[in-house]
Amino acid sequence: MRLHQRLAALLPEGRLLPDAVWHRRHRVLLRIAGAQAVLMGPLALALGESLPVAAGVLVAVGYPLAFAALPGAGRRLRSGATTVSLLAASVALVYLLDGLTEAHFHFFVVIGLVALYQSWAPFGIALLVVVLHHGVLGMLWPHTVFGHAAAHHDPWVWAGIHAAFVLAASLAHLASWRLNEQQGLRDPLTGLANRTLLVETADRLLQRRSGPVSVLFVDLDDFKDVNDSRGHAAGDQLLLTVADRLRSCVRAGDEVARLGGDEFAVVVDGGPDTAVTIGERVLRAVAEPLPVGGRPLVIGLSIGVADSTTAADRRAGTLLHNADLAMYRAKGLGKNRLVRYTEGMAQAAEDRATLGADLAVATRAGQLEVYYQPTVELAAGRTTGYEALVRWRHPRRGLVPPAEFVPLAEESGHIVEIGRWVLDRAVRQAAAWSAGSGQPLGIAVNLSPRQLTDDDIVRRVADVLADTGLPAGQLTLEVTEGVLVRDVDTVIDQLHALRALGVRIAIDDFGTGYSSLSYLRRLPADIVKIDRSFVQDLRPGGPSTTLVSSIIELARSLHLEVVAEGVETEVQRAVLDDLTCSHAQGYLFGRPQPADAHRRGDEHAAPPVPAGA
């Protein structure tokens, strides 16, 4: 078998025909073979042959078709049986016409017909039949096979000559289909295989071998941000560089393809361990800075791996779909990592799609709620404002965690509609609380990156302030550092325009994103919110304490207010007090709750709020 596989590997292969196309062609050839079988009997009788000979010809031509019609038979058996029937008609025709030269032309007609299968098996059968027919039968009954004297003396020589002509016809058909199918199988930018060729390569491997075949689905992290910030020419250069590094990481026999956009895939002739090894090699290769537009760029890749041992069926489409699911799981876990497909991912993806469809109507159906979490001035121990946080009360699932639906809303674009609704509700609530207590009360509302780029946020904020009468200084708009990986100049212009209305700007989750020190000076910010990941490990003398102290000192030097997020213990509070952090949020001071759970009765008598809080 190994020798057979090595010899087969030397033959150039054409595209694997899709099932529907192959079966359609097979039905046509089956009808032609059946018609020949029916006509051969009457033709034999018309040429003066006896009834038994005519019956024998009919059986010889028609019998192979029984194998071609077997239920569950594979392509090779069906195409081979049909080819044998067609060639049996060629042999019978030569016999019935006493070796007439023109009768041999039927072989070449058959070669053209079986070329429609686009497989080497029918060609191999044709060569074998020609050699045996012209050699063996030509030696036994030369006058019946050959119509000229030279072949009567050297039947094997002429058998070889006929086989050479059949081989030449086969190669001509092969070249024709190969040249035709090369069109449209390569990605024009990278020169890699496209999706069509990738699927055909995977299907061929899955049909040829019983062992495992794997697929890696590779997606660049935040590629859109590269296009937005550096331009599409830089994006194309990045794709070319990534394509080259992918090629360098695979083995001979593995196929690398660009599926479109920033998505790549690799078909691996091997099991999951081999695929994971290649995937880890890819992550290491791309971790090195990539030269783009004369400047180094560091990007991440999310890679999903699936193999045929975990697939419900051995089809390329199934493997690619499973690897895609695993890739999205890698993105959900924080990007720039490799995740292997497991059976539960398909159900999780279905649940996610269902949740996304439900999210599309959540705002209009009145399923969203705004919860409010207090912000506390540490020195005085008093509440100075609230942060508005959206919650989704699903009719069947109850409260859906924000970490589950907010990223989904970002991806789908529903976050824009949700953000508008939250802004309106929160500002109106703050205006009502301020009027009820006679004291100004601050309110903080989160803005998503999409709202800053996809929505007329400046006009909308101005309108809601005018409608509610809330002074602009009591509204704080929070943005994460992630907005800065988009069009930095546009984002900064939007923030300047918002700040010109009189509202305050807070940088949320500071220290985890992209701005760090480089963009902080350019940002029109008033407040820095220290991410909870730094606050969780706060203790006297701990490494997080040094980091938080540095952030506070940096903010003070830039005349920015500091709010520490995620404060849950008295130890954390004490450390923040020692570091002269001005404000804090966290469960230690209050959990997010609906509006009616805050400031009931005489609680509306809010303590004085510092200007702009």
What pLDDT, in 10s, does the model give residues 279-310? 999 999 988 888 877 777 888 899 999 998 87
User: Within 13 Å of residue 433, how many CA atoms lie on the same side as its CB?
Assistant: 27
In 126-254 the beta strands, taken as DSSP E runs, fall at: 214-220
**What does the pLDDT read at residue 605?**
35
Q: Is the pLDDT of residue 346 over 80?
A: no
Compute the distance between CA of residue 527 and CA of residue 537 in angstroms, rounded to an integer.
Answer: 22
**What does the pLDDT read at residue 512?**
64
What number is the average pLDDT over the span 418-443?
92
How does residue 485 score in pLDDT terms, banded at 50, 70 and 90? low
Distant-in-sequence, close-in-space partners of 281: CB < 8 Å, separation ≥ 6: 249
In 285-381 the beta strands, taken as DSSP E runs, fall at: 290-292, 295-297, 301-307, 337-340, 368-377
pLDDT, greater one: 107 or 442: 442
Reported as a single tens digit per residue, the pLDDT across 52-64 is: 989 998 998 888 8
Question: For the chain, what percent of residues have pLDDT higher than 70?
Answer: 84
Which candidate, 228, 219, 220, 221, places its Cα nearest to that of 485? 228
Question: For the chain, what percent of residues have pLDDT higher than 90?
Answer: 36
Pairing of strands 295-297, 527-530: unpaired
Spatial contact of 515 and 507, defined as CB atoms under 8 Å apart: yes
Reported as a single tens digit per residue, the pLDDT across 185-206 is: 788 899 899 998 898 889 888 8
pLDDT, greater one: 243 or 523: 243
**What does the pLDDT read at residue 436?**
87
Least confident of 174-183, 467-476, 503-512: 174-183
Q: Is the pLDDT of residue 329 over 90?
A: no
What number is the average pLDDT over the span 399-428?
90
- For the CA atoms of 25, 26, 30, 36, the dihedral, rounded to the nearest 10 degrees, stands at 50
Helix, strand, coil shares, percent, the chain, to 5 = 55, 15, 30
In this structure, what token pair is assigned to residue 244?
A: 């080259």
Q: Is the pLDDT of residue 278 over 80?
A: yes
Task: Give buried/exposed letters for 51-90 (b at 16+ CB in 10 A, else e).
Answer: eebbebbbebbbebbeebeeeeeebeebbbbbbbbbbbbb
**What does the pLDDT read at residue 99?**
66
Instruction: Please tell me whether residue 49 adopts helix, strand or coil conformation.
Output: coil
Least confident of 23-27, 83-87, 203-207, 488-492: 488-492
**What does the pLDDT read at residue 218?**
96
Spatial contact of 402 and 373, defined as CB atoms under 8 Å apart: no
Q: Is the pLDDT of residue 324 over 60?
A: yes
Spatial contact of 229 and 213, defined as CB atoms under 8 Å apart: no
What number is the average pLDDT over the span 321-326?
92
**What does the pLDDT read at residue 4?**
56
Spatial contact of 314 and 206, defined as CB atoms under 8 Å apart: yes
**What does the pLDDT read at residue 601?**
35
Least confident of 222-226, 258-262, 461-465: 222-226
Compute the distance between CA of residue 138 and CA of residue 162 in angstroms, rounded to an integer.
Answer: 12
What number is the average pLDDT over the span 533-547?
87
Burial class (CB in 10 A: 0-12, 13-18, 19+), 460: middle
pLDDT, greater one: 487 or 610: 487
In this structure, what token pair is assigned to residue 311?
A: 């697939």
Instruction: Please tell me whether residue 584 adopts helix, strand or coil conformation.
Output: strand
Compute the distance between CA of residue 422 and CA of residue 475 in angstroms, rounded to an integer.
Answer: 13
Indicate whether this model's pTM tops 0.85. no
Reported as a single tens digit per residue, the pLDDT across 359-382 is: 989 988 999 999 999 999 998 888
In this structure, what token pair is assigned to residue 184?
A: 């449209």
In this structure, what token pair is assigned to residue 526?
A: 């008033």
What number is the average pLDDT over the span 573-602?
85
Q: Is the pLDDT of residue 387 over 60?
A: yes
In this structure, what token pair is assigned to residue 154?
A: 């050297």
Instruction: Please tell me whether residue 307 adopts helix, strand or coil conformation.
Output: strand
Orientation of helix 51-62 relative to helix 75-96, angle to 10°: 150
Average pLDDT, the chain: 83
Q: Is the pLDDT of residue 317 over 80?
A: yes
In this structure, what token pair is assigned to residue 82?
A: 């049909």
How does residue 598 score in pLDDT terms, banded at 50, 70 and 90? confident
Q: Is the pLDDT of residue 515 over 50?
A: no
Least confident of 168-177, 284-293, 342-351, 396-405: 168-177
